[in-house]
A and B are shown apart, each in its own frame.
Chain A
């Protein structure tokens, strides 16, 4: 099973980037909210694994 990692990079301009690896679907949103901590989102990009994970969850729930 892939390790779920969170990388937060904080610069001296008041910006931070949040990179989530190994997460999918709602789990991804929850972790994202935790680490955002009320900050303002300037840009956001979902990666293929996010959607792949959602499909897997949907397939499971249909069974």
Chain B
């Protein structure tokens, strides 16, 4: 073995983020110039996002959930603070990141000539892990 690293997934590529959200069963709106998010209280400050899931698809949520493109290129999540405790907190974001990372990795590997050797889903005490193994040709 030659190297081992632990990385935090950063959501950067719209295509894979949209695909990940769709795979989770959501209909996704894409607004390149930004679309308005609806919140539970009408007097709350209006927020905009580039990728939006409407609350009618988010069971138990008070407001829409959106992803906003940051000046540095990554997406940041925008949501009603109350939804942090309604099933759309860090755990939910982690599942989005997991699906995103798998899609992004598979696409990159294919484009750069790595061969997928295997995919397995491993059950752990902290939830499912997806394990992808590739072989480098050179």
Contact = CB atoms under 8 A, between A and B. Distances in A.
Interface of A: 3-24, 27-28, 31-32, 34-47, 49-50, 53
Given A5-B134, A38-B10, A49 B2 contact: yes
Interface of B: 1-10, 12, 73-74, 90-91, 93-95, 97-98, 101-102, 104-105, 108-109, 112, 114, 117, 122, 124, 126-136, 138
For chain B, what secondary structure do more than half of its interface residues adopt (helix, strand, loop), or is it mixed? Answer: mixed
Contacts, number: 155
B126 A12 contact: yes
- Greatest chain A CB density within 10 A among B8, B12, B108, B109 is at B8
Contact of B105 (A8, A22, A43, A44): A8
Contacts of B6: 15-17, 41-44
14 contacts: A7-B133, A8-B133, A10-B101, A10-B130, A10-B131, A15-B9, A17-B5, A19-B3, A23-B136, A35-B105, A37-B108, A41-B5, A45-B5, A53-B2
Nearest to B128: A12
Contacts of B131: 7-10
Given A5-B117, A15-B7, A37-B105, A22 B94 contact: no
